[in-house]
Amino acid sequence: MNRIVPNDNMPTDQGHQPAAAGAQLTPTQMKVLAGVHSGLLNKQIAYDLGIAEATVKAHMTALMRKLNVRNRTQVAVAAQRMDRTLRA
C-alpha cells in the first residue's frame, strides 16, 4: 500500500504557521498586506498608497521573506490568519 508522505520542502497546515506572529512589519508593509488581503493588484495598491508599483513589489518581497512564504497567495493566506488573530 502506497502512502503519501509530506515532502520536507512542502509546507503543510499541520503545525506549520508562517512567521507572521513574530514578524515585525513596517506601517507601509501592513498597508500593502491589507491591500493583498483585499485582493488588490500591485498597481492598485500603489495608487491607493501614492507610491510606485516597484515600491509595492519591494514591499511584497520583504513581506514574503518576513512571513516565510513563497508567493502572493500565501501572503494573502497569512494576512487572513493575522486578521483572524487580531479580531480574537
Instruction: State pLDDT tens for residues 5-56.
Output: 443 444 444 444 445 555 799 999 999 999 999 999 999 999 999 999 999 9
**How far is 79 from 42, CA to CA, in rounded Å?**
16
- Name the percent of the chain lying above pLDDT 90: 66
Confidence of residue 88 (pLDDT cuts 50, 70, 90): confident
- Asked whether 79 and 34 are in contact (CB, 8 A), the reply is yes
**How far is 8 from 78, CA to CA, in rounded Å?**
20
Q: Which residue has the cell 512564504?
A: 69
Query: Which residues lie closer than 8 Å to 52 by C-beta, 6 or more apart?
Result: 46
Supply the DSSP symbol for 47.
H
